[in-house]
Amino acid sequence: MKIVMLGAPGAGKGTQAIKIAEKYGIPHISTGDIFRANIKGGTELGMKAKAYMDKGELVPDEVTIGMLLDRIKEADCGNGYVLDGFPRTIPQAESLTAALEKMGDKIDFALDIEVPDEAIVKRMGGRRACPKCGATYHIEFAPPAKEGICDKCGAELIIRSDDKPETVKERLDVYHKQTEPLIRYYRGAGVLRGVDGTKELESVFQDLVSILEA
């Protein structure tokens, strides 16, 4: 079961990817984790990626895909995997498809967590974080016992810069331009399945399980 997770930033795809991986005993693979593992391990591709990152440049697709292919060839990926955060663009998706075809393989499901922009802005804008202990809250869905104060350590909660409405809107603009076309790409490949991501977390998960087990 080879799965690609799709959805705008804040749609909850990362959370659902982890739940799917746990349920089916397959690895949850994020590009961030792959980058960190390769850099820490001092691999050739990791050092190439680090050189670009140190200069503040984007890591070229061929380096990222090289690391990804090395990862999915590992033994724990024998029964499948969940890709979270890759591909982000059509060229990346095409490169991934071509590389998998060479291995006699393909993506089985592209799962799109559908959430309207306004709901994402509201969802992310309600997040609060503790700068001291790292605990996270949401003013609507998981509020602290005392408004603005961390339950765990008593520090004053903050809004992360990533969660400010203007930043969220910028990230959504990038998503619509670069990543949303993947929905059409995977629909054309016949593997796209969408779910309503505005539901409760567990309801969204059950909808995804129904798709995977249909």
Catalytic residues: 13, 88, 127, 160, 171
Q: How far is Cα 189 from Cα 178, in angstroms, rounded to an integer?
A: 18
Please give the DSSP secondary-structure letter assigned to residue 137: E
- To 5 degrees, how large is the angle CA 90–CA 168–CA 192? 35
Instruction: Please give the helix or strand (H or E) that residue 2 lies within, else none.
Output: strand 2-6
8 A C-beta contact, residue 182 and residue 175: no
Q: Following DSSP, what letter does each residue of 80-111 receive, concatenated?
A: -EEEES---SHHHHHHHHHHHHHTT----EEE
- Cβ atoms of 79 and 212 within 8 Å: the answer is no
CA–CA gap between residue 131 and residue 157 (Å, rounded): 7
Residues linked to residue 192 through DSSP beta bridges, in sequence order: 110
Are 28 and 84 within 8 A, CB to CB?
yes
Q: Show the CA angle centred on residue 1, arms to residues 29 and 214, nearest 5°.
A: 130
Report whether 127 contacts 136 (CB < 8 A).
yes
